[in-house]
């Protein structure tokens, strides 16, 4: 048996098996639940620090086994869903996406649904998305003038809401329903809290707002779908892709399924882009050397007023390195889960049916055994000769294996486009706010307020 093998158990005991080392502390019955709700990331880091590559904590009687390191990640990500199931682990997302959609569907059905999105991620569509993202960003900057201030988290959340909704949902949402959609989407995403891992249907205000938002979003999508069918309009967006899609048996997606899959796409396309664009700019501003290199690359590339084309964006290697490094230090998802649906062995450790196994990109990317000077922001990690992201299953900002985020290329392209437009036209300056991570939501963004001053490139400072 290789070190990466997960072996289903054939008998109550297997030679050489051992229990994972357990995290100290915890209370009777509830285990580490209180610490998990109060400081989820801190608890995961403590588990790794105390237990090493494999460590076990307990939530309300359920064991969660954290695996850290490239070999451990590979052992998990390569296994079939019949052994380690993401669907069983992510029941908290079912009320968000909807019953019968993604994690709320049978694995084979979910696989078909995800496959339906591939036409929307082909190169010809990506070229269209580049133009849309650049146009949305330029339209936003049109009101800026020569100098001013923004709050980073709010600005990038707003901008990527516009860019993602235009690319994924289509012009109807962007042009006609943007304000209502923003509110509905906000309530939906704020319904993803740590309590959801324990029970996603608790009678708490966040979940009630989540359920109302999901119902209203379904109504909005149905209205757009019907309007498109009546008019004959065909969009170059994810919505049109899903309207045209069908299962292997010929059955078309229902409006409920279309809505759920659009929500799943928006969570990937908007959340990742919003927080990572903010983190990329903030880290560059904190590291002037790398800021200068990225800014020079962008301004040299577009010195002759070349359009922000798909090919030109692909050529921005230093910019891509900065984005990748922001994703490494600040991975949007701090935990990736699977549920054991049968007894098995992973790297010699006993995993029982009903246990959860987890990897944490945040904890993994801080591991000095994997990344040299892991806490330092260093975009040069990805240049020829180092390429630290190429080591299998070390860099896991987008997950890994068969469930690796299929929208990672779209996310990188969207962020690079926004960065190219911003740094081509403006210089930025931090205004002294402390930069910290907001650990309250599922996605880890910078904690507001973080104020930035912008000044048009080539413009002399205004005397105050």
In a domain, 461, yes or no: no
Beta bridge partners of 67: 54
In a domain, 14, yes or no: yes
Judge contact between 37 and 69, C-beta under 8 A. no
Residue 373's pLDDT band, with cuts at 50, 70 and 90, is very high
356-359/445-446 β-pairing? unpaired
Helix axes 205-231, 178-189, angle to 10 degrees: 140
Residue 173 pLDDT: 77
Domain count, the chain: 1
How many angstroms separate the most distant Cα atoms in the chain? Answer: 78
| 403 pLDDT more than 70 | yes
pLDDT, the chain, mean: 88
In a domain, 175, yes or no: yes
Q: What are phi and psi of 62, to 5 degrees?
A: -105, 130
Among 61, 65, 25, 18, residue whose Cα is nearest residue 359:
65
Local structure of residue 388 (DSSP, 8 states): G
Residue 459 pLDDT: 72
Among 418, 404, 409, residue whose Cα is nearest residue 122:
409
What does each C-alpha distance from 266 to 53, 141, 260, 293 come to in angstroms? 33, 23, 10, 31
Residue 312's pLDDT band, with cuts at 50, 70 and 90, is very high
- Where is average pLDDT lowest: 88-92, 99-103, 445-449? 88-92
In a domain, 201, yes or no: yes
In a domain, 296, yes or no: yes
- Where is average pLDDT lowest: 18-32, 141-155, 183-197? 183-197
> In this predicted model, what pLDDT tens digit does every residue of 162-183 receive, in sequence order?
898 888 888 877 776 667 877 8
Helix axes 408-425, 123-141, angle to 10 degrees: 30
Contacts of 103 (CB under 8 A, 6+ apart): 86, 87, 90, 91, 93, 94, 97, 110
Residue 62 pLDDT: 86
In a domain, 1, yes or no: no
Q: What is the CATH number of the domain that holds 424?
A: 1.10.630.10
**Tokens encoding 444:** 């880890």
In a domain, 291, yes or no: yes
Q: Which residue has the higher pLDDT, 222 or 147?
A: 147
Structural domain span for residue 429: 6-456
% residues pLDDT > 90 (the chain): 58
Alpha carbons 369 and 347: distance in angstroms, whole number: 18
Residue 460's pLDDT band, with cuts at 50, 70 and 90, is low
Whether the CA torsion 380, 385, 390, 393 is positive or negative: it is negative
| 463 pLDDT more than 50 | no
In a domain, 319, yes or no: yes
Alpha carbons 460 and 433: distance in angstroms, whole number: 24
Mean pLDDT calculated for residue range 14-39: 85
- Whether residue 449 is preceded by a cis peptide bond, meaning omega within 30 degrees of 0, is yes
Among 235, 238, 255, 233, residue whose Cα is nearest residue 164:
238
> In this predicted model, what pLDDT tens digit does every residue of 265-308 receive, in sequence order?
877 767 788 999 999 999 999 999 999 999 999 999 998 777 89
Predicted structure pTM score: 0.89
**210: buried, middle or exposed (CB in 10 Å: 19+, 13-18, 0-12)?**
buried
Q: Which residue has the higher pLDDT, 160 or 12?
A: 160
Residue 165 pLDDT: 83
């Amino acid at each position: 048996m290789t070190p990466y093998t997960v072996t289903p158990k054939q008998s109550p005991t297997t030679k050489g098996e051992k229990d994972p080392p357990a995290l100290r502390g915890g209370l009777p019955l509830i285990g580490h639940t209180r610490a998990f709700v109060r400081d989820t990331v801190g608890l995961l880091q403590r588990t790794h620090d105390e237990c090493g590559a494999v460590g076990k904590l307990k939530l309300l009687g359920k064991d969660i086994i954290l695996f850290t390191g490239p070999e451990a990640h590979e052992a998990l990500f390569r296994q079939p869903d019949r052994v380690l199931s993401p669907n069983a682990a992510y029941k908290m997302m079912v009320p968000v996406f909807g019953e019968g959609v993604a994690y709320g569907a049978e694995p084979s059905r979910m696989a078909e649904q995800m496959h339906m999105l591939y036409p929307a991620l082909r190169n010809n569509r990506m070229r269209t998305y580049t133009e849309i993202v650049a146009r949305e960003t330029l339209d936003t900057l049109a009101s800026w003038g020569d100098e001013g201030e923004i709050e980073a988290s709010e600005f990038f959340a707003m901008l990527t809401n516009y860019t993602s909704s235009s690319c994924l949902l289509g012009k109807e949402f962007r042009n006609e329903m943007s304000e209502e959609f923003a509110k509905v989407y906000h309530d939906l995403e704020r319904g993803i809290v740590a309590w959801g891992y324990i029970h996603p249907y608790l009678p708490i205000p966040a979940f009630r707002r989540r359920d109302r938002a999901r119902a209203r979003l379904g109504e909005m999508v149905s209205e757009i779908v019907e309007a498109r069918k009546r008019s004959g309009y065909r969009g170059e967006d994810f919505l049109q892709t899903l309207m045209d899609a069908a299962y292997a048996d010929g059955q078309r997606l229902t409006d409920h399924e279309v809505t759920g899959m659009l929500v799943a796409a928006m969570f990937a396309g908007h959340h990742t882009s919003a927080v990572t664009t903010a983190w990329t700019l903030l880290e560059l501003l904190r590291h002037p050397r790398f800021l200068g290199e990225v800014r020079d690359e962008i301004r040299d590339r577009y010195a002759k007023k070349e359009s922000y084309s798909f090919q030109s964006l692909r050529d921005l290697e230093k910019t891509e390195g900065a984005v990748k490094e922001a994703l490494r230090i600040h991975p949007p998802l701090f935990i990736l889960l699977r549920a054991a649906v049968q007894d098995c062995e992973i790297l010699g450790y006993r995993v029982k049916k009903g246990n959860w196994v987890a990897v944490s990109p945040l904890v993994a990317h801080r591991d000095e055994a994997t990344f040299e000077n892991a806490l330092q922001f260093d975009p040069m990690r990805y240049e020829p000769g180092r390429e630290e992201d190429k080591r299998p299953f070390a860099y896991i900002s987008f997950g890994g294996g068969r469930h690796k985020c299929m929208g990672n290329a779209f996310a990188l392209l969207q962020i690079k486009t926004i960065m190219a437009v911003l740094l081509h036209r403006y210089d930025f300056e931090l205004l002294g706010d402390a930069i910290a991570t907001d650990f309250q939501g599922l996605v880890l963004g910078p904690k507001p307020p973080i104020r930035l001053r912008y000044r048009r490139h080539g413009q002399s400072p205004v005397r105050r």
